[in-house]
Structure 1
């Protein structure tokens, strides 16, 4: 699901440290975004959501065998009219056919169950297995609660197997069947904070607009998202309500589980393996860290956060070199990419 609309409308949320929280604020980025015309702002934010959704889904699917929790997923990113503020809501309603709390498809990554079923941006899900979803009354201010409630109904239906959705597009309703697949149970969301940050809370992976835009290609974006996914895989932060099936090869990981002073370095190391396993180029991580250091003044020094010690960008680049060599050797020898 998309991040709450307050992230879009205000572009000024404070960042809360969590295990895996990485990066620093870029104070003027959010203000610059708000100077854009509303239609331009909506386009940029939605495009970023789609880009992140595509890469995050590829990582979640390719690494399901290593994740400690997997669940049946459709791969989509959902949104609703209610989550938008007064300025952007009419634009989002017109563009995507949104109505109240009903879930609208914003992104359906290629080859995801959502895309295979024929879903695309602009589809509005009005019922699942014959059960109407709650449209709700249009709130005076943005609200995420209604979408969350409807998403929970969809998740429950997918957990039982293929789900028949009633979908409205351009005023015409049709039925489609979504056949979920098992994937890592940690969807990604974009936060509009005007910062260079990413984090995980044990339920979701979050990446700021600044950090996502800093990544110049899918390989670099995959490294940032995979670092946070690695925190989840190594169970640096867990949530009791995130339940599902443990990946079949999760037992084979030899890396330390649970929070430790090395958690950030471990997430970098495992993150490169997750990147490579998903078909992205792990070498691009070095280029990203160079650009990150230039963009973020704090990246040149050591940090300490709730996840442990976070090395400087230069220190991270040095630490990644032997990992990249290990991955290359394993690939050349046809060995499993499991550290």
Structure 2
């Protein structure tokens, strides 16, 4: 754990404080530590992409809104301080490439792989995709291009699928990719020294420091499912409509009570989402027991969340309820989603 932590701290410093250092010389070698850190980040992207895809795909019958999904995750080399090192580490031929492909997804069926470079979408070159859309104005400049590409991809998939021109080690080919329809949900690893996870109504973000703490993918899925549950239950919109204070004063009064209610709902729904996707819901108990013992703040815990022992009891109660429910087509209909119908 300590060795991996040093790698991530090194990655943070190299990427966001100073350029990654490539070794000089004709042999084309790059700084081994920087390459290892980038590959480590890519591995976390791949794990979260696979977990997120399984969660939204398996629970699609119970979501009132749907979204087309391919199962791959794109990355833009422009996001990195030393682009040549990043391109080498990720294996891209050019600037926009695939970082992760979920198993049993449309991207997997199309034989796309991490490292494949996207050259065009429906015969439009990546370089020709406009970044002038007003909806992209809030994006930081370094993320605007990948946001524009993802937006174009979503629009193409919503119509009839997308024809991609991809290259792998300099050899180009054309691939027709048809999406599956799943629950809405986007997932990302956010490089940070903090252990945290968030949901903004659309995106689930899990920090690299927290991701490295998980013992297995079931624990990873427990946290991802909790944040996804917030988005599926539209907690962000609901709390905004209630004018809930998210700052310091949100720890008191009605704001704290309403946030805690949302947290309880997300915990309850999360284990249903996990079970339907084939993850062990008991992992939520294992994770929060271990994390609570190591990092719980006792009486200083936030008033908007249950303390870890009470949280674990909530999971136990919900899993016991799940055991009494008859499966429908192999799935457990989550009451918090089906009650919205």
TM-score, normalised to structure 2's length?
Answer: 0.76
Rounded to whole Å, the distance in 1 between the matches of 2:48 and 2:113 is 16
SS of 1:53 mapped into structure 2: helix
| Equivalent in 58, 76, 80 of residue 84 of structure 1 | 80
For residues 157-199 of structure 1, what are the alpha-carbon distances to aligned partners after superposition, in whole Å with 9 as ceiling and x for unaligned? 1111221111111111100110101112221000111111111
Post-superposition offset of 1:288 = 0.3
- The correspondence of residues 86-125 of structure 1 with structure 2, limited to 5 A, is 86=82, 89-98=83-92, 102-125=95-118
Specify which structure has the higher proportion of helix. Answer: 2
Q: Secondary structure at the match of 1:158?
A: helix
Q: Choose from 311, 335, 339 the match for 1:338.
A: 335
Which secondary structure state, in structure 2, belongs to the residue aligned with residue 93 of structure 1? helix
Describe the SS at the equivalent of 1:143.
Answer: helix
Q: Paired residue for 1:253? A: none
Q: Residue 132 of structure 1 corresponds to which residue in structure 2?
A: 125
User: Would the aligned equivalents of 1:33 and 1:41 in 2 still touch at CA under 8 Å?
Assistant: no
Q: Which runs of 5+ in 1 are unaligned?
A: 1-25, 240-258
Match of 2:297 in 1: 298
| Paired residue secondary structure (1:330) | coil
Q: Residue 321 of structure 1: which of 309, 316, 323 is its match?
A: 316
String of CA shifts for 1:182-235, please: whole Å, max 9, x gaps: 112221000111111111011200011122122111111111000011111111
1:73-107 superposed Cα distances (whole Å, 9 cap, x missing partner): 11211101111112xx212212445466x531000
Which residue among 11, 34, 38 is the counterpart of 2:34? 38
Q: TM-score, normalising length from structure 1? A: 0.76
Maintained 8 Å contact 1:330/1:337: no
Q: Indicate the residue corresponding to 2:271 in structure 1.
A: 272
How far apart, CA to CA, are the structure 1 residues paired with 2:306 and 2:180? Answer: 37
Q: Runs of 4+ in structure 1 displaced over 4 angstroms? A: 31-36, 331-335
Deviation of residue 34 (structure 1)? 4.6
In the TM superposition, what are the counterparts of 1:1-339 in structure 2 within 5 Å?
Answer: 30=9, 34=13, 37-86=33-82, 89-98=83-92, 102-134=95-127, 143-238=142-237, 260-298=259-297, 301-304=300-303, 309-330=304-325, 336-339=333-336
Larger radius of gyration: 2
- Structure 2 gaps of 5+ residues are 15-31, 130-139, 239-257, 337-341
Aligned-partner Cα distance in 2 for 1:142–1:41 = 24
For each residue in 1:137-176, what CA deviation from the matched residue of structure 2 results, as whole angstroms up to 9, or x when unmatched?
xxxx981111111221111111112211111111111001
User: CA separation in 1, counterparts of 2:332 and 2:41?
Assistant: 40
Deviation at 1:337, TM superposition (A): 4.3
Pick closer, same or farther for the CA change 1:122–1:280 going to 2, 3 Å: same
Closer, same or farther: CA 144–260 of 1 in aligned 2, 3 Å: closer
Q: 1:131 to 1:70 in 2, by over 3 A?
A: same
Q: Aligned equivalents of 1:329 and 1:278: distance in 2?
A: 18
Assess, with a 3 A threshold, how the Cα gap between structure 1 residues 335 and 175 changes in structure 2: closer, same or farther: closer
Structure 1 Cα separation of the partners of residues 41 and 141 of structure 2: 16
Q: Secondary structure at the match of 2:227?
A: helix
Cross-structure match for 2:18: none
Tell me how far 1:129 sits from its aligned partner.
1.5
Q: Could you tell me how far apart the structure 2 residues matched to 1:279 and 1:337 are? A: 14
- For this pair of structures, how many residues does the alignment match? 284
Q: 2:288·2:312 contact (CA, 8 Å) conserved in 1?
A: yes
The whole-number CA distance in structure 2 between the counterparts of 1:29 and 1:128 is 34
Q: CA RMSD in A?
A: 2.9
Answer whether contact 1:292 1:299 (CA < 8 A) is retained: no
Higher relative contact order (CA 8 A, sep 6+): 1
SS in 1 for 2:234: coil
